[in-house]
Amino acid sequence: MALFKSMDNLEDGKKQVVNSEATEKVKCLIIGSGPAGYTAAIYAARANLSPVMYEGMEPGGQLTTTTEVENFPGYPDGVTGPEMMEDLKKQAERFGTDIRFGLATASDLSKRPFKVTIDGNKNVEAESLIIATGATAKYLGLESEEKFKGQGVSACATCDGFFYKGKDVAVVGGGDTAAEEATYLAGIVNKVYLIVRKDYMRASKVMVERVMNTPNLEVLFEHTTKEIVGDMSGVTGVLLTNAKGEEVKKDIHGFFVAIGHKPNSDIFKDYLETDDVGYIITDPGSTKTKVDGVFACGDVMDSHYRQAVTAAGSGCKAAMDTERFLGAL
């Protein structure tokens, strides 16, 4: 009889490893399947570490929600996010990675082998663990936002800004990311509206100055987003509410959400060092966490670059760090 607990405990952040008879032992376990996870898998498989990967809730990661990727080296004509992830998956499988559908729901990293619970009902015991669970962009939660995701609504200006060359766009958020995305977009598009809910921006002084000194960037303080409007072609405008409660409409083709990211580190953070937001802290220049044998790569440990290519690079490092760790045992 399998003795596993219910998944109720997933809600409260105190996720516990289940007592389960269904335990499997693996040498190298990779959690997460974005560019970091797949690259770690390619390197680990080629190093004969027999990696087992659990893909997580969103197989392929954040890139599967974008359309065209034009800045990943090696694709001179661009590639769609889902196609690129499929290519990476095939490459990882070609060298023998065992890729499985499943979500890591709890962990016990207090000693080796590390225990990771999958889907609340199966334990995997791992000699080494690579965490590549990524980060999830926060969205406003509007129905219209969901409807136009990938068709004008984006959470990454570096990824999608180019498609709005010469057009008008809006960015929502008042932090450094919003300021950075808005000024980046201003260099590409015709006009940027920056929608800030308060009467000031939380971004650093230097970034606020840059925003204010960008001629084709207009900050709409004390405005909130009511609805994103569009048609078959995608986004055509945004309805806002100003401080007086009046409705304001702006004609735009791109709506960029920059209200922060949430790193997917919840199930590991009782054991690892994280920053205030939850990004896993690794040794400088390495993927080593504070637990020997546990490595973190990609957006779950990188709040700054957040690019597919930088995530892939850190996935490579994580596999090499793992190989050295296992080799030294």
Return the amino acid letter for 26. V
Active site residue 28: no
Whole-number Å distance between alpha carbons of 51 and 27: 7
Distance CA 150, CA 142 (A): 15
- 28, 126 contact by CB (below 8 A): yes
Instruction: For residue 46, give the H/E element and its range.
Output: helix 35-46
Which of 28, 108, 156, 302 is catalytic? The answer is 156
According to the binding rule CB under 6 A, does residue 260 interact with ligand NDP? yes
Q: Helix or strand or coil: residue 307? A: coil
Name the phi and psi angles at 159, rounded to 5: -75, -45
Catalytic residue among 77, 87, 119, 160: 160
Tell me: does residue 69 bind ligand NDP (CB under 6 A).
no
Pull the structure tokens for residue 170.
């809006």
Query: What is the residue-wise DSSP string for 167-203?
Result: SEEEEE--SHHHHHHHHHHHTTSSEEEEEESSSS--S
- Which part of the chain contacts ligand NDP (CB under 6 A), choosing from 26-34, 75-83, 100-108, 195-203? 195-203
Q: Tell me: does residue 303 bind ligand NDP (CB under 6 A).
A: yes
Min dist CB 284 to ligand NDP, Å, is: 17
Looking at beta carbons only, is 176 or 227 nearer to ligand NDP?
Answer: 176
Told to judge if 297 belongs to the known catalytic residues of this protein, a careful annotator would answer no
| Cα 100 to Cα 4, 33, 188, 210, 233, distances in angstroms | 21, 10, 40, 46, 36
202 belongs to the binding site for ligand NDP (CB under 6 A):
yes
| Start-to-end C-alpha separation, the chain | 35
Q: Confirm or reject binding of residue 112 to ligand NDP (CB under 6 A).
A: no
Give, as one character, the DSSP assignment of residue 6: P
User: With binding defined as CB under 6 A, does residue 150 bind ligand NDP?
Assistant: no
Examine the residue annotation and report whether 159 is marked as an active-site residue of this protein: yes
Candidates 178, 185, 272, 301: give the one binding ligand NDP (CB under 6 A): 178
| Residue 172 binds ligand NDP (CB under 6 A) | yes
Stretch that binds ligand NDP, among 9-17, 194-202, 244-252, 313-321 (CB under 6 A): 194-202
Return the number of the residue (102 or 174) whose C-beta is nearest ligand NDP.
Answer: 174
Residue of 28, 108, 119, 159 with catalytic role: 159
Q: Is 174 in the site for ligand NDP (CB under 6 A)?
A: yes
For ligand NDP, the binding residue among 140, 142, 248, 320 (CB under 6 A) is: 140
State the DSSP code for 276: T
Binding stretches for ligand NDP (CB under 6 A): 140, 172-178, 180, 197-198, 202, 259-260, 303
Please list the active-site residues.
156, 159-160
